[in-house]
Structure 1
Amino acid sequence: MPSRIPKSLTSLLLASILAFILLLAPILGLSPAHAEAWDEQIPSTVYNGALVPDRGHITFSTLPVISEAGSLQIPDSLAAQLGYNPSRIWSENTPIDQVLMLGDLQDAFGLGNFNLATIAQLTGLNLNGISLTNFPLIAQQTLASLVDAIPQLAQRTLDQVPILKDLVNLNLHNLGSSALSDLALQSLNLDDFGSSPLSELASNDLLGQFSLGDLDLGQYSFNDIPGLTQTPLEDLQGWQQTFVGQVPGLSQVSFAAFPNAPAVGYFGFIAIDDVTYGPMEHRNTPTQRSITGSDKVGFNYQCAQPRGCAYLELNSPVSLGVAGDPPGLHGAQWIQGGTGQGAQMVPGGHGILSVINGGQEPTGRLPFGPVFKVVLTNTDESSGTGSFGIYFRVCHHGFIDLGCTPYFIGPIPWFSAKEKGIVFVGETPGTPPGDIPDIPPLPAEVQQQIDALIQANEPDFLSAVNVDGPCLAKIMSQVPPGESAAAATTVPKLLEAAQRAGITDRAQIAYILATAETETNFRPRNEDGGYCGEYGPGCYYGRGDVQLTGQSNYQYWSNRLGVDLINHPELANQPDLAARIAVEGMRDGTFTGRRLGQYISGDQRDFVGARHIVNDSDKSSQVAQQANRFLGALNQCSTVVTTTDTNLTSANHPGQLIAHSNGSATQQRIVNAINAHYNESSAGGPGGGNVACAYEVNRVLQDSIGHKIGSNPNLVASVEADLQSGAGQHIGAQWAHAGDVIGFRRTFKTKTFE
């Protein structure tokens, strides 16, 4: 019988061999996964010869921008349970701190436990040197929510907190005589509010709802609210819906300093990137040694696609290729993840949110824990390199536990790998338990939530919305004659947006219409007298149906809609976008922190108080009167709108703005250019615009990809010939994304897409 080496001696021997190999790495051609510019941008360190993130220096601000557009849509029923709506749409090249919300990472980094003082200490930020406009979350606070979040305010008087005294004085000045009379009947002293304890004012039904968003917050600093900088972010109303980049300094805090910081150091295996293979290697033979997958199906999920998978074939540095060594990495395959050629998607996510993204995520690994997933995004056989990216997910736990989405927010470029380089793979591959019990039938109410979530995120969800003609006539009868022309366009858009947003309460619809009339007379337009620089740097004066104002609001809606309102703020006046901003903003309370449902729900119809949703108490009586007139008209309607299935393959219908593309970066640039040209006249094209199809397509292409196509860019046949001769790629219509330029010929009962 062969002699047996003691286990402790075996471990020592392997460790010695590994150390020796790493010393020889430069001579043998073994080096950390390294090649691309991204490797140099991301703070890194070396673990056993492999490049890994330096948690002490990596921050959200040091991560590259996101490479693909995407969206998350939460139906109204789930948003009501959460108390906020985490829906958003993002475009490619968006910084990740403008995509991730604090609530997304509550179980990963614990960012809600942070306070501003700690963040300032960690980053060297002088909070006295910046104004409160740089902290949009404060605009969502009311007098009541602020006192609730900062208990030390309760015993202070109004005179002791000038910013709150300014808030009360501003709103009292705008109150009508009836509201002041109601206050006078209570125990409050109208002649001496200054000596009143803030706890008493905050508990008042009227005064407590005064919103700090009513003030010009540029006049105040963080120290003007005692105790604010020491207050945990999660104690402030609406904190979950705040983007990471909207908290001063947070994007500059290192991951190691977060409240739920990952463990110090790393643990796991390294491997040699032995050979890089493209997608054709396993056209007919499935992989056998995959170490990729998901935390739902395990990390040996094989590729059995007929088209084959691209992958890195790994090797163990311990034995330099001898099969059977302890890590079992000889011949292991890290498969490319994604939806492109040679890439693999796998089931992912947990709970109700697992249905997002079709329940799928790119195959990959979790070598650094569950916060983000590392995915091989591309392989290049000619250079022997593999590109990695990381994906984030959204989790919502707590009293309302929705679970986690699949990892689908990404990719963000990560470290690259080169043949014979060393790659960190983390802990050993795992398989899902073999004795998982069958999932019992879900309660009906849970299944309804899942169905609503799937529908809200399904591209075909936005089918055609048709406004009932007789009902529209009744509504238009309440519009002043001078506004009827503009209202003929704006009112249907608002009704369609309300239907898509799930708003069926006719009183809420009436109030939305009344708000648009009061703000703009149904003409989404630039603010009267607005000028660049009026609301900070840039030209972010009021626009649209509700006069969207301020850079932070334009940035928020850019993220949510996937439309670049920062560089093209004029797009906020486009009828489709203006309607969505008005309806969804009022529904979700994005303007002042106050939502439609707080004032108008069922039998509750506070049309006067609801004015705080958009613009303190200005013209509150006027809006209320008009809302009552619109409600009277709506109550005479048997049907307001109907939804029909259009059988289109995309939510981006002809004649509407395109929200985003789930295709490539180039496709998203085309989408952005289309939106910028939306509703423009083609009169400058051939035939006075009557035969300007190719002309308009090439205007978009010039702006998005820098050149036109076709020897005669104004002739359809020329553009088509250019596409067929190599400028284009033949695809099936089912694979098209928003932003693709598709030429097609119509014949009887058939379409040929190219």
Structure 2
Amino acid sequence: MLNILLSLILAIVLFFTHQPSAIAQDASTSGEQTAYAILNTAINDMPPMPEDGYVPDYGDIEGVDYNMSREWSAGDPPADVLKVGDIESGLGAEELTLGQIEEITGADFDDITIGNLEFLEGVSMDEFLQDVPFLEHWDVNDIPALEKYSQYGEIFSGDQTLGDVIAANPEIGAMEVRDVIGDVSISEIPNLEESQLGEFEGVGDKTISDVPGLGDVPLGSFPIPVAMPSLNFFPMQDIAFGKEEFSGLSGTPQSVSGGTNGTQVWMPIACVGGCPHIELTDSGWEGAQWLTKEHRVRDGFGVLGAMYDEAGAYRIPFGPAFALQVTSTDEKTGIAEWGLAFRVCKRGIIDLGCTAYFMEVPLGIETKEGDDIITGVRDGLGGATIPLDAPPSWEEKRPNSPRKLREVEEAYDRAFSSGAQVKMDEDCLEGLVSVATSHHQTEAAYIIPKVVESSNKHGLSKPQLAYVLATVKAEVGGVGWRTNIEETGKPCSYGGGCGWHGRGLVQLTHIDNYRRLGKVIGQDLVGNPDLALEPEYAVEILVAGMKDDLFTQSGRSLDYFINGQEKDYYHARQLVNRLDKAATIAGYAEKFEEKLNQCSTLETERKSAGGGELPNRIAQAAEESYGMDSSSGPDAGRNACVWAVNRVLDRAGIEPIGGGMPGNPKPGNQVWVPGVEYDLQNGRGTQVSRGDAKAGDIVIEGDQWHIGICQDDGCSRVISNSSSRASFKWESDTDFDGYYGNGPSRIYRLEN
């Protein structure tokens, strides 16, 4: 994995290029001798970090279950910088036990106590019993050190198991294990020294130095001994093969080309069934196969990766800016032709991921047998760990992105710069969003400022806000940071009969809660429970309900659990759902609090959409209504353009429009575009020019076939009902992209 190679391999390279005593001094030192020296090197043998540095917080990354972020200073030992998670997948560190570390290193752990085990920081007594095999079933009388050395010794007595003791004393179970039995020797705890490191919650986030003796384990003694990458960046091309090679059922055994295979990390991908390629030679590359771009591989990730998910096999020796491909081979002449491939990424707060490397450009370069070629380091990551400098002219070969991609990026940019978005400090928001899973961060960037705004209104402290955000992550964060998430499969399982299932950010349930919270938000949630799915109401339900104990009515408010004297993130779960997922949510809260403490300000503002109060409200309601289902409108949504606009107006608290025209074929029903324009021209609005148009203005198609709502100044972006999809999600220009072809549209500003 990338994190292993960036830290571990580079540390090894630093060590063996700056410590001449580690390698034989003369040129006759063989590769075998060097490899032997490396395999017998431990992390504590490596030199200190040569300069200050850091790894930023990338948030949740698929396949990485710990936070990769860290900072270090020049002179820091590598064991204080590298994390256990850095060497879990690559070296199998998670499979090691303390007993094995003791045996491998010859260390004596007899005097080490539970309190000395820094990697147990944050692990509760409850979790500790689950992490150590069968420990909860041991009789406390068989572990006398518990009664003797623990400050809570009186509970560790009598004819009962350790699990019984903790079940009867849940407050002890919630405490950190080091605070409960910190003075007990690790040798006194049954099975502890036989427990694999990977069994302990959060061990991946601990540094190597937090685990006794781990930094002294030679790299060759780990469960997965360190794989030595080839540091030969320019091996020699050997034979060029055509389609007949590997045309049977056997795949290429040493593929060094590949793609991401649907992840965010490059990996080699074998080919089966006819695989033109070049074979490589030279030290570290003997027999390796680089497949041509005819070998199509799965690539890309996120929203953009779903749009373009296939690439020709490649390597990335110059880093991720572009990929290097063998475009074709000629078996008769032995010639290979080369090209580049580019991708499109949009990362950050609005994280759309990356496309595959699908934009292919020929280089006009040929190589033949015996030529040196560029591969980069053979690291299992396409050469990306030690990127080479590419000729500047190669980056200039990047083609323009397809229009479809540009439209998607622009649509997301518009959605998060519109009047619907509550604005807050960008650095603060980016930190908070990073706690959400990567594929939900775009949604989190929209909803988190609204939660912050509401918490400010209710006077919540940072720790209280952290716990509210942690609750959202637990309740709906696995599905998406959206308010319109509705529980399925249990429509009649809650108090009050059918219809009171989970809705919104906190998954509101039970008719009594709908009635109680409806009074808080000033809406009839019993008569219209789906209002709990609306962003403004869902946020208020979440914050007010948790602050004032309105969900479970436990008799203890948020202030009881989290105040100036204590932060009981574990038991605060009682405000929503007893102790379900209590430890997990407490962990989320700690992460959110850490990010909140880095915020310079939590002030929020609603960005003006221009054009006065009514247009502001309309623009905001239109953005929040994006994707609204219109199938219950006229003709199953096919003729629901006015119906959809009036739903938006209703959401903005504005009377519907279009029912006042004499001769309206459906008097009193606002479903006819001519009726809307009549109302706008007769007391409800004023026509404006395109130059004066603002977000929230109403757009009427030239021959009154369609209607939409402006979403920006100048009205270059209009949102309206899509007849074919029966939903409020058609984004077009002012003239509806010329679809109706009947002259310019007219724009009106609603005034009442």
State whether TM-score is above 0.5.
Answer: no
Which interval holds the TM-score relative to the shorter structure? 0.3 to 0.5
Larger RCO (CA within 8 A; separation ≥ 6) = 1
Query: With structure 1 as the length reference, what TM-score do the two structures score?
Result: 0.36
